Structure 1
Amino acid sequence: MAGLVVLACGCQADGPSGGGGATAGGSPRVTGESPSAGTASPRARPPAVKVPAGVRASYVVFDRKLGRVVLRRETRRTYRSASVVKILLALDYMREHRVSAADRDLLGSMLRSSDDKAATEFWRRGGQAEVIRRMVPRAGLTETAPPPRDKPGFWGYTALSAEDVLRTYRYLLEKAPKPHRDFVVAQLRKSTPCGTDGFDQTFGIPSALERPWAVKQGWSGFGTLPAAPCRGGSVQSVAVPDLGLGRPVLHTTGIVGDKIVVVLTLQPAGSSFRAASARVTALTRQVYRASAG
């Protein structure tokens, strides 16, 4: 696919009116290590990626031309999804239902502007956790799990990993029915600078990397209203997953040219949205540069 497609998840509240996200162990690779970098290579090693102090981060970059991962770090660690799960919600709903014009409008708002009320409606219509149970085998997901049983309406507490977000993108681009793929990607290309809850959606890939892109961001744990309201911006057996409750999450994911880029983070407790956004944007810029080495 030409250009940059970024799927990021934006959602603030963690219950029926919003989304959430979190963390758990995986198979870590040394920060900034690229599988393609070896001692026999005549090229210089890619720059090391420095994760900000106090931040728990997982990232992966998949080169679609080469057909392989070129950079990864702790890709099987789990996080609470926040609005990243909205991609699965949209794909499941279109697969399971006849989509009306009104449905398309609501799906579009959910994908473009991270509308939490729309996500809550599709979560309800889909049978809540049943949405995840259907999409896990369809997309070949391994760490993705429904919210805790005592929080069935909290779609943002769905657990996922960077590896599974990569699988979700590959499913979207390679296996989802073409009409569904075209609709989802088209909405993400029209991502609005501000989410419906007033949070700025331009952190991470939109600010760190050049257009063209299509984005769907994710945030949780920064309060119900942003300290500085967004004004449009200038950027054109069953293991219990670790959800990182009590700390904010901020995720940016997507397709950049021929690469799929996923950056998931659990931020220090008490982080402001502005500070966390700056950290994620700087980290994303490092990850993308390192993947080109």
Structure 2
Amino acid sequence: MASTSEVPYPDLSSVADGVAAAVTAASPRTSVGFVLYDRESGKELASLGADEPYYTASVVKLLIAIDEVRDDTTGAWALPDADAVEDLTDMLEGSNDAIASAFWERNGGNAIVTRTAALLGLAHTTPPADPTQWGMAKTSAGDVLAIYQYLEDTVPDEIAQPILTALGNARNPADDGWDQYFGIPDGLSGMSWQVKQGWMILRSSLVLNTTGVVGGRYVVVLLTRQPPVSSAKGRAAVTAGIKTLAPLLARLNAT
């Protein structure tokens, strides 16, 4: 039987447009940054606005976690003590803001983003203008893809595994009470996932991001900047976009 990498992918030209159309149908005037990547074949299957900067919201916690387990002076990788590992786990599973703020302050604030962006080669990731507001760092869908590739392929397994396990155990609601099962968890509910979600309500917009590894194979990144709609409407729009991927992924998995 031919391997998946030898089978032509169906309808790739319409995938990204389909995601964006579903999002904007549910939440008009939404800006979308999107990437779908197949780790098995090493192919980017679809993308749209992948280099455009969006607010990270809690997606920046991926960089906070990577920075915590690497010594910037020596380049050595090591898990911190048990208490700090527990904090990292809670920061990712529950998207805990207080813990993220503690790591942010302790490890240099904006320098965390600067260091990790340089380490990973993230061309479109920048620290926040206000160094106390880590959620207002910016990144792109393409850079978030690179973060997951780095976690999966470069960080030593014994260091990456606790981080990836925490992403696979993202709990709902998040520690701030927010329903974080939008996008990937609800839109691709029949598949396993390791996700980092992001949400932030601004005066003039709603930031909602769903990112992660799906089925151990696909990296899915959907970043959105929506008009100031309700959180429920915004989450539904992101989920609608992700749901359009389900038939494609099912077909690829069956080949």
Aligned to 1:264: 223
1:99 corresponds to which letter in structure 2? P
Change beyond 3 A, Cα 1:44–1:158: closer
Unaligned runs of 5+ in 2: 1-7, 72-77
Aligned to 1:196: 175
Q: Normalized against structure 1, the TM-score is what?
A: 0.73
Q: What is the DSSP-based 3-state SS (H/G/I as helix, E as strand, rest coil) of the residue aligned with 2:220?
A: strand
Q: What is the DSSP-based 3-state SS (H/G/I as helix, E as strand, rest coil) of the residue aligned with 2:244?
A: helix
Question: Which of 211, 218, 226 in structure 1 is aligned with 2:198?
Answer: 218
1:213 corresponds to which letter in structure 2? W
* Greater RCO (Cα-Cα under 8 Å, separation 6 or more): 1
Aligned to 1:104: 85
RMSD, aligned α-carbons: 2.1
Aligned to 2:235: 277
Q: What is the DSSP-based 3-state SS (H/G/I as helix, E as strand, rest coil) of the residue aligned with 2:194?
A: coil
Does structure 1 conserve the Cα–Cα contact (< 8 Å) formed by 2:173 and 2:179?
yes
Offset, 1:185: 0.6
Unaligned runs of 5+ in 1: 1-35, 223-244
* Overall identity of the aligned pairs, in %: 34
Offset, 1:246: 2.7
Which deviates more, 213-222 or 198-207? 213-222
Question: Which of 186, 190, 203 in structure 2 is aligned with 1:207?
Answer: 186
Offset, 1:55: 0.9
Q: What is the DSSP-based 3-state SS (H/G/I as helix, E as strand, rest coil) of the residue aligned with 2:70?
A: helix
CA distance in 2, matches of 1:268, 1:274: 13
Offset, 1:215: 2.1
For these two proteins, the number of residue pairs brought into alignment is: 229
Change beyond 3 A, Cα 1:44–1:256: closer
Question: Which of 163, 168, 171 in structure 1 is aligned with 2:142?
Answer: 163
Aligned to 2:103: 122
CA distance in 2, matches of 1:63, 1:75: 16
Offset, 1:177: 2.1
Q: Normalized against structure 2, the TM-score is what?
A: 0.84
CA distance in 1, matches of 2:191, 2:37: 18
Does structure 2 conserve the Cα–Cα contact (< 8 Å) formed by 1:113 and 1:196?
yes
CA distance in 2, matches of 1:153, 1:256: 32
Query: Quick check: 1:88 aligned with 2:63?
Result: yes
Change beyond 3 A, Cα 1:99–1:288: same
Q: What is the DSSP-based 3-state SS (H/G/I as helix, E as strand, rest coil) of the residue aligned with 1:214?
A: strand
Per-residue deviation, residues 170-227 of structure 1 (Å, max 9, x unmatched): 00100112222101011111110111110011111000102322222110007xxxxx
